[in-house]
Homo-oligomer: A and B are copies of this chain.
Amino acid sequence: MRIQIINPNNSLEMTASIRNSAILVASKETEIIAVCPALDQSVASIEGHYDEAVATVALLKLLQQGCDEDVDGHIIACFGDPGLHAARELVHAPVIGIAEAAFHVATLVATKFTIITTLSRTKIIAEHLLHQYGFAHKCARIRCIDLPVLSLEYDENHCYQIMRQQCLDAKRLDGIGAIVLGCGGMSKMAQQLSDEISLPVIDGVTAAVKLIEGLSGLGMKTSKWGDYDYPRLK
């Protein structure tokens, strides 16, 4: 099977890092196709609602391309799950956002989780998702490292140290059993953090890969009856 992972920002480094994470967990039979928009089609990083809105259109174009190439599933690799409902209208194959993927997995291994994300201003996006999906009471706290998304690429070591400290604080103070990483760019740190902290640290990218593989194994596609029917022709 082939899974298209769309990083909706246009950072090639982050796209590569997301691809690497995905390949590490994908089944042998699964081909990972990681894409991102051209430089003039989206934003360098998604750090608010405006960035999301701009990136969503680029994302949907890439999604349509993936659909035309007949991939078996799509992943939206940005923690705000931008364009998720629109994407499910556009294609029949399953579509999963990395925020929802991480939330689903977290609730299967722990009663509560803490999210560690980048900038404080993006907390509201995670809160809206938790509320809409129904996981608000499972999330004990959203912690921020207060560094821009792209610092995860150009200042990786510094970010890691801050995240490690936040994970330790979460483990000690938040009454949680798992940690959810709140950015696609953090994917590469999940395994090391989990090992050092001795706690399940859940990265939505890898979580989404396994969920898509699972849906595919069930023959389960996005329902085209009702709310997720194809966009109406005018």
A→B interface (CB under 8 Å): 25, 27, 43-45, 47-54, 56-57, 60, 83, 85-86, 88-90, 94, 96, 100, 104-105, 107-112, 119-121, 123-124, 128, 131-138, 148, 150, 171, 175-178, 198-200, 202, 206-207, 210-211, 213-215, 217-218, 220-223, 225-229, 231-232, 234
Contacts and interface: CB of A to CB of B under 8 A. Distances in A.
A111 B228 contact: yes
A134 B57 CA distance: 28
Contact of A111 (B43, B137, B171, B226): B226
Contact of A220 (B50, B109, B111, B198): B109
B226 A25 contact: no
18 contacts: A48-B232, A49-B83, A51-B231, A88-B109, A104-B104, A109-B223, A110-B223, A110-B225, A111-B227, A112-B227, A121-B226, A131-B132, A148-B232, A177-B227, A199-B223, A206-B218, A207-B218, A213-B213
A172 to B, nearest CB: 10
Given A49-B86, A123-B175, A226-B176, A134 B132 contact: no
A49 B85 contact: yes
B175 A120 contact: yes
B234 A220 contact: no
Given A105-B218, A134-B133, A54 B57 contact: yes
